A and B are shown apart, each in its own frame.
Chain A
Amino acid sequence: MDTMPKWADVILTPLISLVLAMAISALVILAIGESPVVALTTMIDGALGSSYGWGFTLYYATNFIFTGLAVMVAYHASLFNIGGEGQAAMGGLGVALVLLYLPLPHWALALPAAMIGAAAFGAAWALVPAWLQAKRGSHIVITTIMFNFIAAAALNYVLVNLLRPVGSMDPASGRFPESTHLPKLSDMALALGFEWGRNTPVNISFFVAVIACILVWLLIWRSRLGFEIRAFGKSEPAALYAGINPVRITVIAMLISGGLAGLMAINSVMGEAERLVLNAVEGAGFIGIAVALMGRNHPLGIVLAALLFGFLYQGGGELALWTSIPRELIIVIQALVILFTGALDNMVRMPLERIFLAMRNRGS
């Protein structure tokens, strides 16, 4: 029997975890002699208090939606893809190659082409671990994390030796052609006659991310492939009994997962940097794991969790800018949120289940 109503499981547990993480963060801030109240208001002001703050928060959230969805799809096949970082980095390479070497006269053409490049490179990077897992039983956690390092090294080589413009000292590609720059949300607001989020990086990729959420939801909960992915993820012997091919499902789920992680590059590489730089992913691949965990591996939850982490990223940046709280402490706060919502989930869930049980017993 389910001991808790669904709303408690989906909303109450992460919320309590979040409050606990914030409480401990407050203690840490107190311990270094700063005011938690000031810190919190600074973060809220900086991330949500203006359209400028929102512009950055949404930009970060877009990255996290893609990497969160990537973790989620693999998770439903019971595959723990922690290679989002490497797959997103490779997605960036795909975007750069498409935009630098294909003549694309308009962003409306460049966007789908770059999406194909990003998804194909990300998926290709997930293919080898997937194949090794399916055929050889090499554990996907180990192989995907190794592939993160390989991706970083490979990208370093490509940028320094192949893509760096002649004469540049910077390990980065040349700028993408003007015609391929994606419209920013601020530009779109201006076209509609009002000013919103000037000089913020959030761009049309945000809508691509939202569409991706809907498509992933359809895939996992409405399609035959999603049914097979979920069944395989719950029980491999049962999948075999039902005629589901484990090799096929493992490979396909990882291809989709890698593709989604790669798609992050259209936001960060194409939409923001407009060239390929070293370490364009900036840890978003790993944040995706926390986002998927906190979002209960559901697209709606992932959007909410991505917004939370976007807020933490942007608010944290503001904190470093306006207070004497060091940048490192912001990482501590983010880590606490991950710790409480992900790893220590049961610490909150089990007492909560007991409370609900007691309430129900008293009621009956």
Chain B
Amino acid sequence: MDATVQNGGRPAAAAPAAIELRGISKSFGPVQANRDIDLRVEKGTIHGIIGENGAGKSTLMSILYGFYKPDAGEIRLGGRPMTITDSQAAIRAGIGMVFQHFKLVQNFTVLENIILGAEDGRLLRPSLSRARGVLRQLARDYELNVDPDETIEELSVGHQQRVEILKALYRRADILILDEPTGVLTPAEADHLFRILRGLRDEGKTIVLITHKLREIMEITDTVSVMRRGEMVASVKTAETSPEGLAELMVGRKVLLNVHKAPARPGQAVLEVCNLKIVDDTGVERLRGIDLTIRAGEILGIAGVSGNGQTQLLEVLGGYPEKGSTLSGEIRVNGTLLSLSGRTCNAAERRRRGIGHIPEDRQVEGLILDFAAWENVAFGYHDAPEYSRGPLMDHDAIRRDAAAKIQRFDVRPPNCYLAARNFSGGNQQKIVVAREIERNPDLLLIGQPTRGVDIGAIEFIHKRIVDLRDAGKAILLVSVELDEIMSLSDRIAVMFDGRIMGERLPADTTASELGLLMAGVDPTFRQPEPLTQDP
């Protein structure tokens, strides 16, 4: 039995810190992921750790959770030095972790997932009934309500995350680490999560929140640490800092958080989608009649929680609807009807019609990670005449072209022989963006352009997207980042459950109104609930 909460939520000046790291270093081969990190998190506080991708946040937390052994340094929990050899030891020490990608068994019930690995004995029934009691208590205390008998696959993403938190609490975690917890949540769900976290903090739990969203840090944390290139560059009280100040600390230079763009000057309609429907091979209707128009020189942003049909829309427009699905409706590009099935419905044909595509998942779709950067620059355009020499590919021509594009898009390191795998997330994305934008498409489809991309690269990618718009091209932007949608789009359409819930102009709407639309509520028919969100 572990000791439970000892001194409530009372601030204890003399009490030892819940987590104290001293001089933690860890390197992977030539890469120093953590260099001499000191971190102090007081008991009963919410502490944010912020930093660009590859800054070493996840490595540091993995060390705390026993996944990696530090090369040097000391971990103290509640003042006592600890060696955490594996995740079992971390759990015993009272650490719980909620991963970005949930570790749940899809076809088990909530209750079964919660006791998994923490069964009391050989028989399941006593554990299950005990867990049921604990769960009821936790639900009452922290607004953590989930139906214990529902299977995971039936739950929404927000509820699945609650199960992860419950799992940690059931194992008597006093320290809860959450890795990018809001990436998959609607604004309302995120608000609920924050209420839960505040409740836990007030009960004396210590919470570490890893995120790259400045707004969340400002909203919920008490203290914040900033990491840059494996080093801890600052630890400050949240109340004494500002988003601009944190961004500067993260990147190491001044950053423009807002996109500056001139008003759009829309021209001819480039993309016209009329009553587009998709039924997948299990008979589920994924798109339920989409109507869209995008004109030359404008950006249409599609907001929505992921999984509401955005992926299917991008795939159909990109020429590769899911195998076995049935499509109906019409798609026109520059007035020409596109085929929705058969041999002429493929991505190569779409590219010939002037459609570029930055896919949602660069690592799975947009790049071949084992290919060199130059091969990836040709990927999808490998049959272009300028890349060919007779029946063979002209490697020299491709390399010359790739080197130029890599230089223009400031991909680092500027080495076109390096495998795509070895670039950071932001630079991988720049390779994809360079490939698609430099082809100068009439219509550019963009899915999650800055997911997992560091702030410096976000700024750059946004600027290139706006430049393309100003060059008179049509852009369809799908993103789950509401800030991104609001700052880049000329018009915003909100998708929910395969439908367009409504269209708004960025100037005439607020994050809370879009949040309601994203949750399937049309605020024009109902009194909008006040959300604690900055406009």
Contacts and interface: CB of A to CB of B under 8 A. Distances in A.
B29 A360 contact: yes
Contacts of B319: 243
A116 B310 CA distance: 50
Contact of B320 (A235, A241, A364): A241
Interface in B321-368: 346-351, 357, 359, 361, 364-368
A245 B323 CA distance: 12
A260 interface: no
B364 A237 contact: yes
Contacts of B370: 234
B393 A224 contact: yes
A210 to B, nearest CB: 20
Contacts of B369: 234-235
B31 interface: yes
B371 interface: yes
Interface string A43-83: 00000000000000000000000000000000000000000
B30 A224 contact: no
B380 interface: yes
Given A231-B379, A245-B346, A357-B29, A238 B388 contact: no
B380 A242 contact: yes
B382 A228 contact: yes
A238 B364 contact: yes
A242 B349 CA distance: 10
A323 interface: no
Interface in A230-279: 230-231, 234-235, 237-238, 240-245
Interface in A1-48: 1-3
Interface residues of B, number: 36
Nearest to A234: B368
Nearest to B357: A241
Contact of B351 (A234, A235, A243, A361): A243
B366 A238 contact: yes
B383 interface: yes
Given A224-B383, A231-B371, A243-B319, A238 B29 contact: no
Contacts of A242: 347-348, 379-380, 382
B30 A241 contact: no
A218 interface: yes
A361 B347 contact: no
Interface in B32-58: none
Contacts of A238: 364-368, 379
A361 B29 contact: yes
A223 interface: yes
A243 B368 contact: no
A227 interface: yes
Contact of A234 (B29, B318, B371): B371
A230 B388 CA distance: 17
Contact of A223 (B27, B348, B392): B392
A235 B341 CA distance: 22
A222 interface: yes
A361 B28 CA distance: 10
B298 interface: no
B368 A224 contact: no
Query: Main SS of the interface on chain A?
Result: helix
A243 B380 contact: yes
B375 interface: yes
Contacts of B318: 241
Interface in A199-232: 218, 222-224, 227-228, 230-231
Interface in A308-350: none
Contacts of A364: 30
Nearest to B389: A222
B363 to A, nearest CB: 9
Contacts of A235: 364-365, 368-369
B391 interface: yes
Given A223-B391, A223-B392, A234-B371, A241 B383 contact: no
Interface in B53-110: none
B422 interface: yes
Nearest to B319: A243
A228 B375 CA distance: 11
Given A1-B31, A235-B364, A360-B30, A243 B371 contact: no
A222 B349 CA distance: 23
Nearest to A223: B392
B31 A224 contact: no
A335 B206 CA distance: 57
Given A241-B347, A241-B366, A242-B347, A222 B392 contact: yes
Given A224-B393, A240-B320, A240-B347, A1 B380 contact: no
B357 A224 contact: no
Nearest to B394: A222
Contacts of A223: 391-393
Report which residue of A1, A227, A244, A245 has the largest number of chain B beta carbons within 10 angstroms of its beta carbon: A227
A240 B315 CA distance: 10
A102 to B, nearest CB: 30
A12 to B, nearest CB: 18
Given A223-B393, A231-B368, A235-B368, A241 B359 contact: yes
Given A1-B422, A238-B364, A224 B346 contact: no
Given A224-B388, A241-B320, A243-B350, 20 more contacts: A1-B30, A1-B422, A2-B422, A222-B393, A223-B391, A223-B393, A224-B392, A230-B368, A234-B369, A235-B365, A235-B369, A237-B364, A242-B348, A243-B346, A243-B347, A243-B349, A245-B346, A361-B27, A361-B29, A364-B30
Interface of B: 27, 29-31, 318-320, 346-351, 357, 359, 361, 364-371, 375, 378-380, 382-383, 388, 391-393, 395, 422
16 contacts: A222-B395, A223-B393, A224-B391, A227-B378, A230-B368, A230-B371, A234-B370, A237-B365, A238-B366, A238-B379, A241-B347, A241-B357, A241-B380, A243-B320, A243-B347, A360-B30
Closest 6 CB pairs of A and B: A243-B348, A243-B347, A242-B380, A241-B365, A240-B320, A222-B392
